[in-house]
Amino acid sequence: MKLPQIAPTPLAERKDKRPSLKKGGWRDLRLTLMAQTIALLLANPELAAVAQPLATDWQRSSTRGVDILKQLFNTLIAHPELTTAMLLERWREHPHFGYLQWLSVHPFLRDLAEADVAAEFRDGLNRLSAEVREAEQFRPFQK
């Protein structure tokens, strides 16, 4: 009788070839613009106030993660006293909690100088807004 394999299949033998979390493979992946923007807001909740006067076109984006960014942003506007830990705690029961927790301490954040954080966040939202405007420019009018 052959026993089922309990140990995980080595990466070289796996069909999907995903990097293993144990080896730090996901940490080496480059974050999308949306993930970078969410990471910056999670790690620096005070940035919500910086974003308030900016264009809000990014909120119409169909990019994956925009709903989370909107919820984080709206929560921080309503409750500017929230810290990263307090904000994450509100997401504890959400299916994306682990990912948000991981984003809040992503190495990408350590690579930024403190003086550049607000500018990076502003630039991220502005680029997301520009992407939306560009996509809408070529969308046919709806009747």
Average pLDDT over the chain reads 81
How confident is the model over 45-96, as pLDDT tens digits? Answer: 999 998 877 778 888 888 899 999 999 999 999 999 999 999 999 999 999 9
Contacts of 58 (CB under 8 A, 6+ apart): 66, 69, 125, 128, 129, 131, 132
* CA 63/CA 124 separation, integer angstroms: 13
pLDDT at 141 over 70: no
The closest alpha carbon to 99, from 68, 62, 66, 61, belongs to 68
Token pair for 134:
């560009």
Residue bearing the bigger pLDDT, 3 or 133: 133
Decide if 88 contacts 100 (C-beta within 8 A).
yes
**126 Cα distance to chain centroid:** 15
pLDDT band at 29 (very low <50, low <70, confident <90, very high): low
- At residue 114, the pLDDT reads 85
Identify the CA nearest to 118 among candidates 49, 55, 72, 30.
49
Q: What is the pLDDT of residue 21?
A: 45
If pLDDT is split at 50, 70 and 90, which confidence band does 19 have?
Answer: very low
Tokens of 78: 């309503």
